Each structure stands twice: as structure tokens, then as C-alpha cells.
Amino acid sequence: MHLSKRCAAETIGTFWLVFGGCGSAVLAASFSAPLGDTTTNLGIGFVGVAFAFGLTVLTMAYAIGHISGCHLNPAVSAGLVAGGRFPMKELLPYVVSQVVGGVAGAAALYFIASGKAGFSLADGFASNGYGEHSPAQYSLTACLLAEVVLTFMFLMIILGATDRRAPAGFAPIAIGLGLTLIHLIGIPVTNLSVNPARSTGPAVFVQGWALTQLWLFWVAPVIGGTIAGFIYKFCFEPEETA
């Protein structure tokens, strides 16, 4: 399929990941409603947010996996290049498409969220951060290591689940659940990125500290994904037979 169509699929898919995943954090994570004489918390919490991110990837993998491969993430594309699964010449167009989709998803979310009285970007708008902007105030070093390790494991799941020797048809489930687990681990640390496009979308609207700290959420995921690609290629790919 032509590159332009695959890039369009990546844009739509990344839009859905950011709108659905970050949207669950901004709109639904903490929500209280009156119930009789009391107020009841109906929010989904960070467990719900973790599942929302996993579900966005699961649904898009089935929807566009056969079109673009459903990367939705510059770190995934970089890891697949390192693993010999994706051509280097198509990396930049994919990354640009993913970032455009991420910013568009954040834009749609912003216009919806800002329709509520009391909305403020000061609440973070699901941005990723370290230090004082980490949900649990983890240090820069801890956040950097967490993003590298969790992205590394995410790529190992992707590479293994999409290996031609793996059971056919189950890769989206493994990848979606893998992303859910990664969020369950990492949300308290950095609000979890493992995806530069996901981090860029909200940061464009929050600006300030979110843009200043954005470098980590590009550098760490790309490092983790690239290392995973090389390791899987040289350690686990089948040897070529004559």
C-alpha cells in the first residue's frame, strides 16, 4: 500500500491513542456525581486509564494493523527499524504522521475538556513529567530509567508477538495487554509515556514545564525501543538457512 495511505492510518491511529488514553485521564479518571444526599466517585482511576491506553492500541491494531502495521509511536517505529522489521527510509514520514495525530488528538481533547467549568491546564492535562511534575515526584534519573525499561519491554512484546513463529491473530491482544501492564507500573512515576507522540500532544497545550521536560519522553523511549530491536534481532530471530 502507498506510503501516504499508511501514514494517514498512523495519523488516525495515534489520534485515537491520545484522545482515548489521555482523554480517559483528563475526563474520566476522577469524576464525582451527586447521588441523593451524597456525592459518589464514579471515576475510573489510574487502573481505568491503563486499560484505556491498552484498548486504544488493541482496537487500532485490528483496525489498521493490516494497513500500516499500527505503530502509533515513534519509539515503536525506531525499534522496528533496529530489529530489521521496518525500512529506515520510511521512519521520518511515520514519525511525522504519529506526532500530527498525537497533537490532533490532544487538540480535540482540549476543546472538549475546556467546555467544563473550572477546567485548567494547571492540572497537567495528562502530560508526562519528572521531579516535581512526576505524579509521585520521582527523580529525573528514576523517570529516565523507568521510561527506557518499560519501552524496552513494550518493544520486546511487540517483536515477539508479531514474530512469524508466534500464534497468528493474537498479537493485538498481547500488545494491548502489554501496554496496559506498562501503564499500571508507570503511571505513578511519569504519568507514563513510552511514546514520544503521546507526550508531545498534551505538552503542546500545557507548554511551560511540559515542553521543557519533553526531551526525556523522546530520548528515553527511543533508546529503550532501539535497544529492544537490536537485542531481538541478534538474539531471537531465527538463523538464516542456506
Domain assignment present for residue 131? The answer is yes
Domain assignment present for residue 241? The answer is no
Q: DSSP string spanning the chain?
A: --HHHHHHHHHHHHHHHIIIIIHIIIIISS-EEEETTEEEE---HHHHHHHHHHHHHHHHHHHHHHHH----SHHHHHHHHHTTSS-GGGHHHHHHHHHHHHHHHHHHHHHHHTTSTT--GGG-TT----GGGSTT---HHHHHHHHHHHHHHHHHHHHHHTSTTSPTT-HHHHHHHHHHHHHHHHHHHHS--S-HHHHHHHHHHH-THHHHTTTHHHHHHHHHHHHHHHHHHHHTSPPPP-
- The answer on pLDDT for 238 being more than 70 is yes
Domain assignment present for residue 61? The answer is yes
**Using 50, 70 and 90 to split pLDDT, how confident is the model at 36?**
low
Q: Report the Cα–Cα distance between both ends of the chain, in Å, rounded.
A: 31
Which pLDDT does position 35 carry in this prediction?
67
Domain assignment present for residue 242? The answer is no
Domain around 230 = 3-113+120-235
The CATH number of the domain where 174 resides is what?
Answer: 1.20.1080.10
Domain assignment present for residue 28? The answer is yes
Domain assignment present for residue 240? The answer is no
Report field, pTM of the whole predicted structure over 0.75: yes
pLDDT tens for residues 169-208?
Answer: 999 999 999 999 999 999 999 999 999 999 999 999 999 9
pLDDT tens for residues 62-97?
Answer: 999 999 999 999 999 999 999 999 999 999 999 999
| Nearby residues of 96 by Cβ (< 8 Å), 6 or more positions away | 7
Report the number of distinct structural domains present in the chain: 1
- What's the whole-number average pLDDT of the chain? 95
